[in-house]
Amino acid sequence: MALTAFAAHGFHCLIPDSWELQVFKGPWDGGHLVFVDHRTPTMALTWERTGRDPDFTRTLRVVAKRLERDIEARLVRTDPIPGRIGSMARFAAQGGEFVVAMLVPDPEQNLVVVLRQLTPGAPRDLYQAMDSLHVYPAKAPVPWRFHGLALDLPPWWRLHSSQLMVGMARAVWFHRPFNCIKTHAVLVMRRYACASRLLDEGDVKTWLNQRLSHDEVIDEQQADPDGTVHMRVLAPGSSLWRRLWRKHEVRHLAAWVDEPADRLMVQEWKGLGPPLPPLRSCHNLKDGALPWQEDTP
């Protein structure tokens, strides 16, 4: 069975290649997502970062009550997870049995994960996701793999929002070092399908120029040997005070074509300090977790 990596909010796991992300809600501190296989729900994953010790008994009681109400499922038995902090519960419903796993993937991290099988049957896919689950510390570089986007970001970048539309995926990250309130920088990644049709025998530079606002001016522009186009774009100040002092809003754009997938990737950066380089390459998570050192800034 072919596997692919899903990664977000400081954790990653391996899932079947045919699965797609249907529901993706919640910030770094906690949220939930749902995977589907050809429109059939397969697995739900919930994560929560908490400062207290997890209460799996309470979590199981809440899950059992909800399943009994929704699908008239009854709890069959619970077992500890070998080699992990957590427990695994087996439920029986009219369609068959399914598994719910509650665990702390890394004792040094305060992340609690609940995996729930949505389709009765053999839980091998849930076991695969559970066994491959890896958590990254807050100060470590973090991989992101979802909606066709694949990038590895330095520490303290937090996902603000994401959108999946026909032919395009878009995600926005805020850079907030050490979880500060102030946003130091903003990163926007866009993935367009059918790049060959979008460009229509043109090039990336022309396509990017055509999508600038009428009041934006290209300050710097260059193209790398690998086809990546860089632009530094200036726009009038966002406030009256900035316009009076002739302060400009600066955007750094980078765009390239992912030829094997026929995708056009556009990276937009705005904020303090130097911009991030083009995020064209990323670590293969099927070979292991993203490497990092303790002294990573």
Residues of the chain with CATH 3.40.1000.10: 3-135, 147-275
Most confident of 78-87, 100-109, 170-179: 170-179
Residue 258: phi and psi, rounded to 5, are -90, 90
User: CA 106 → CA 46, 87, 145, 241, distances in Å?
Assistant: 16, 14, 20, 49
Q: Which residue has the tokens 């009428």?
A: 214
Q: Is residue 84's pLDDT more than 90?
A: no
- Amino acid at position 198, single letter: L
Query: How long a stretch of residues is the chain?
Result: 297
Q: Is 31 helix (H, G, I), strand (E, B) or coil?
A: strand
Residue-level pLDDT at 293: 63
Q: Which residue has the tokens 């907030």?
A: 176
Q: Is residue 248's pLDDT more than 90?
A: no
Residue-level pLDDT at 294: 61
Q: How many CB atoms lie within 10 A of CB 7?
A: 25
Residue 141: phi and psi, rounded to 5, are -60, 145
Secondary element (H or E) of residue 250: strand 248-258
C-alpha to C-alpha distance for 85 and 69, rounded to whole angstroms? 28
DSSP string, 73-131: -EEEEEEEPTTSEEEEEEEEETTEEEEEEEEES-TTS-EEEEEEE-S-S--HHHHHHHH
Q: Is residue 289's pLDDT more than 80?
A: yes
C-alpha to C-alpha distance for 227 and 224, rounded to whole angstroms? 5
C-alpha to C-alpha distance for 195 and 204, rounded to whole angstroms? 9
Residue 201 in contact with residue 281, Cβ under 8 Å? Answer: no
Task: Please indicate whether residue 50 or residue 26 has the higher confidence score (pLDDT).
Answer: 26
Give, in words, the CATH class of 147-275: alpha beta
Q: Is residue 192's pLDDT more than 80?
A: yes
Secondary element (H or E) of residue 256: strand 248-258
C-alpha to C-alpha distance for 24 and 64, rounded to whole angstroms? 23
Residue 229 pairs in a beta bridge with 223, 255
- Work out whether the CA dihedral 103, 106, 107, 113 comes out positive or negative: negative
% of the chain with per-residue pLDDT over 70: 98
Residue 97: phi and psi, rounded to 5, are -100, 150
Residue 2 in contact with residue 17, Cβ under 8 Å? Answer: yes
- Amino acid at position 147, single letter: H
Q: Is residue 297's pLDDT more than 50?
A: no
Question: What confidence tier does 129 reach under pLDDT thresholds 50, 70, 90?
Answer: very high
Fold of 3-135: Protein Transport Mog1p; Chain A (3.40.1000)
Looking at residues 40-61, what average pLDDT do you find?
88
Task: Please indicate whether residue 255 or residue 73 has the higher confidence score (pLDDT).
Answer: 255
Q: What is the pTM of this model?
A: 0.90
Characterize 223-241 residue by residue with b for buried, 16 or more Cβ atoms within 10 angstroms of its Cβ, and e for exposed.
Answer: eeeeebbbbebeeeeeeee
Residue-level pLDDT at 296: 44
